[in-house]
Amino acid sequence: MEDRLEIRTRPRERIVVTACDLFHRHGIRSVGVDAIAEAAGTNKMTLYRHFGSKDDLVVEYLRKVANDAEAIWGQLEAGHPGDPIAQLNAWVRRAAECVIADGRGCDMVNAAVELTDPEHPARRIIEDFKKSYRGHLTKLCGAAGAIDAELLADTLSLLLEGARVSRQSVGAEGPSARFVRMSETIIATFPRHRAMEAGQPDI
Amino acid sequence: MEDRLEIRTRPRERIVVTACDLFHRHGIRSVGVDAIAEAAGTNKMTLYRHFGSKDDLVVEYLRKVANDAEAIWGQLEAGHPGDPIAQLNAWVRRAAECVIADGRGCDMVNAAVELTDPEHPARRIIEDFKKSYRGHLTKLCGAAGAIDAELLADTLSLLLEGARVSRQSVGAEGPSARFVRMSETIIATFPRHRAMEAGQPDI
C-alpha cells in the first residue's frame, strides 16, 4: 500500500517541480503540457491524470510559489527575534537578493501579466498572495515604528515590484541596482513614532 | 499614383493599429497573426507582405508605443515652460492617470515579461526606450533641484513600474492607488539644492 502510494505520487511531484521551473524561466504561455511531461520524464496522459488541465497546473505552480514565499516572514522573525527594525532591514536585503539573483522577476507578477482573463482561476491565487504579503509587510512596518505603516509597506512593495520588472527590461545595471539604497533612504526619512527613533520600541 | 500608394499603405496601418490594440489588451503571445489579420479586415498573406514575421510586427508595435510615450516630455515642457518643479509634479499626475486608467500596465514591461529570449529583436527596443525614459526623467529631477537626480528619477520610475504591475495583480484598490501620495512624499523629502527649496531655481 505504501509502495503503491509512492509510485502514484512521484510523477505528480516531478510534474509540479518541472512545471514551476519551466513556467518561471520561459513564461506560462510559451510552455506547453507536452514539454512539461517530457521534461518531467513522464507523458501527457499521466499529466492529465493528475491535473485536469494546464490551468490546474498553473494554479498548483502559483500555490507552490505562494507557500515558499510565505516562509520568509518566519525566517525574518527567527533571525532577529523581537527586533522589527532589524527584521525590516533584513527584508530589504532579502528582497534585493531576489532582484539581483533572478532576472525573471516575481512569478506572481509575471503570471498576472500573462493571464489577462480576469476569470482565470490563477488570478485569485495571485490576489490572495499579494494581499497576504501586504498584510505581513504592513505589520512589520508598524512594529518598526512607522506612523503610516501601510503607506510605507506599499511604497516598499511597489519599489520591489518595480525593481523586479525593471531588471527584466533593462538588466541588472539599470535602476533596480539601487533598490537597497532607495529603500533605506525611504525607511530612514519615513515619519515614525519618537520612541522608535531613539531605538526604544514602544509597541 | 497617389491612389495606388494609398491603397497600398492603408492595410499596413490597419494591421499596426489592430496589433497594438490586441497585443496591449491580451498580451503578445496569446494573439496570433490570424486574429490580427481578421480584426484588421485583411488576410494573413497581406500581413506577411508588410511584416515578414510576427516578431517584425511586435517590433513595430513597441516602436509605436515608444514614439507615443516620447511625446510626454514635450507636453510637460509646453504645459509649464521653464518650471521644472511644476513639470515634475505634472509627470506624477500623468503617470498616475496611466496607472488608474489602464489596468494592463506598461506595454514595454509586459513585453519584457513575455519575451524571455534575450535575443528577441524587441528587447533592444524595450531597453532603448527605458534608457531614454530614464535620461529624460533624470534631467527633469536635476532641473527640479534634486542633488542626486538619478536616484530620485530611478526611485520614481521603479514606483511607477511597480504601481503598473501591482494594478494588474491586485487591481486599482491595491497599493497602486497611493502612487501620487508616495511620489509626492518622496519628492518632498528628497535632498535638493537650497535655492530650489525657496522656489528660486538656480539652474
Contact A174 B109 (CB under 8 A): no
**Inter-chain contact A112–B168, Cβ cutoff 8 Å?**
yes
- The three cell numbers locating residue B18: 489592430
* Rounded Cα distance, B48 and B36, in Å: 11
Q: What is the pLDDT of residue A196?
A: 57
pLDDT (0 to 100) of residue A195: 60
Nine-digit cell at B105?
500596465
Give the pLDDT score at B196: 58
* Test the B interface: residue of A22, A120, A155 with most B CBs within 10 Å: A155
Of B15, B171, B162, B39, nearest to B102 (Cα)? B171
Measure the CA dihedral A166/A169/A172/A175, to 10°: -40
User: To the nearest whole percent, how much of chain A has pLDDT over 90?
Assistant: 84
Q: What's residue B189's pLDDT?
A: 86
Instruction: Give per-residue pLDDT as tens, A143-183.
Output: 999 999 999 999 999 999 999 999 999 999 999 999 999 99
Question: What is the residue-level pLDDT of chain B in tens, covering all 203 positions?
Answer: 444 444 555 899 999 999 999 999 999 999 999 999 999 999 999 999 999 999 999 999 999 999 999 999 999 999 999 999 999 999 999 999 999 988 899 999 999 999 999 999 999 999 999 999 999 999 999 999 999 999 999 999 999 999 999 999 999 999 999 999 999 999 988 888 876 554 544 44
Segment 97-116 of chain B within 8 Å of chain A by CB: 104-105, 108-110, 112-114, 116
CB contact residues (below 8 A), chain A span 142-201, against chain B: 151, 153-155, 157-163, 165-166, 168-171, 174-176, 178-179, 181-182, 185-186, 189
Dihedral (CA of B190, B193, B198, B199) sign: negative
Predicted confidence at residue A6, as pLDDT, reads: 47
pLDDT of residue B115: 94
Give residue B120's pLDDT: 95
> Residue B41 has what pLDDT?
94
Residue recorded with cell 525611504: A186
Q: By mean pLDDT, which of A112-116, A187-191, B29-33 is the weakest? A: A187-191
Class of domain B1-52: mainly alpha
Cell (9 digits) for A91: 527584508
A137 vs B: CB within 8 A: no
Helices assigned H by DSSP within A27-148: 33-39, 44-50, 54-79, 84-101, 107-114, 122-143
DSSP letter, residue B198: T
Q: Residue B165's closest chain A neighbor by CA? A: A109
Choose among A104, A161, A170: nearest Cβ to B162.
Answer: A161
The three grid cell numbers given for residue B19, joined into one nine-digit string: 496589433
Longest dimension (CA), chain A: 63
Q: Which residues of A touch B182 (CB under 8 A)?
A: 151, 154-155, 158
Distance CA(B187)–CA(B185), nearest Å, equals 6
**Domain spanning A62-197: which superfamily?**
Tetracycline Repressor, domain 2 (1.10.357.10)
Contacts with A29 from chain B: Cβ below 8 Å: 27, 29-30, 114
Which DSSP category does B62 fall into? H
Q: Closest Cα partner for A114 from B161, B113, B121, B62?
A: B113
By CA distance, what is B105's nearest residue in A?
A113
> What are the two backbone dihedrals, phi and then psi, of residue A200, each rounded to the nearest 5 degrees?
-115, 90
* C-alpha of A89 from chain center: 18
Distance CA A117, CA B19 (A): 18
Using CA coordinates, name the residue in chain A closest to B25.
A116
Query: Which residue of chain A has the CA closest to B138?
Result: A175
Containing A120, the helix (H) or strand (E) segment is none
Q: Which overall architecture, per CATH, does domain B62-196 show?
A: Orthogonal Bundle (1.10)
Contact at CB, A134 and B174, closer than 8 angstroms: yes
Residue with cell 482561476: A121
Q: Residue B194: what are its φ and ψ, rounded to 5°?
A: -60, -40
Contacts of B189 (CB under 8 A, 6+ apart): A189
pLDDT at res. A68: 93
Residue B77: burial class (beta carbons within 10 Å; 0-12, 13-18, 19+): middle
Q: Cα A23 vs. chain centroid, distance in angstroms?
A: 14
In chain A, where the domains are located: 1-52, 62-197
Chain A neighbors of B31, CB-CB under 8 A: none
For residues B166 and A157, give the distance between their C-alpha atoms in angstroms, rounded to a whole number.
9
Residue pair A151/B181 in contact by the 8 Å Cβ criterion: yes
DSSP secondary structure letter of residue A80: S
Q: Which residue has the higher pLDDT, A9 or B193?
A: B193
Give yes or no for a contact between B163 and B179, defined as CB atoms under 8 angstroms apart. yes
How confident is the model at residue A201, as a pLDDT?
A: 47
Count of helix runs (H) and strand runs (E) in chain A: 10, 0
Q: Degrees (nearest 5) of the Cα angle B174, B180, B183? A: 110
**Interface predicted TM-score (ipTM) of this complex, two decimals:** 0.86
**How does the average pLDDT of chain A come out, rounded?**
91
pLDDT computed for residue A189 by the predictor: 86
CA separation for the pair A175, A170 (Å, rounded)? 8
Burial environment of residue A3 by CB neighbours within 10 A (0 to 12, 13 to 18, 19 or more): exposed
To the nearest whole Å, the CA of A168 is away from the closest chain B CA by 6
Point out the residue among B116, B155, B169 whose CB comes nearest to the CB of A126: B169
Instruction: Transcribe B71-112 into DSSP letters.
Output: HHHHHHHHHSTT-HHHHHHHHHHHHHHHHHH-TT--HHHHHH
Query: What is the pLDDT at residue A197?
Result: 54
pLDDT of res. A102: 87
Task: Note the residue count of chain A.
Answer: 203
H helix count then E strand count, chain B = 10, 0
Residue A194 burial (CB < 10 Å; 0-12/13-18/19+)? exposed
The pLDDT of residue A115 is above 70: yes
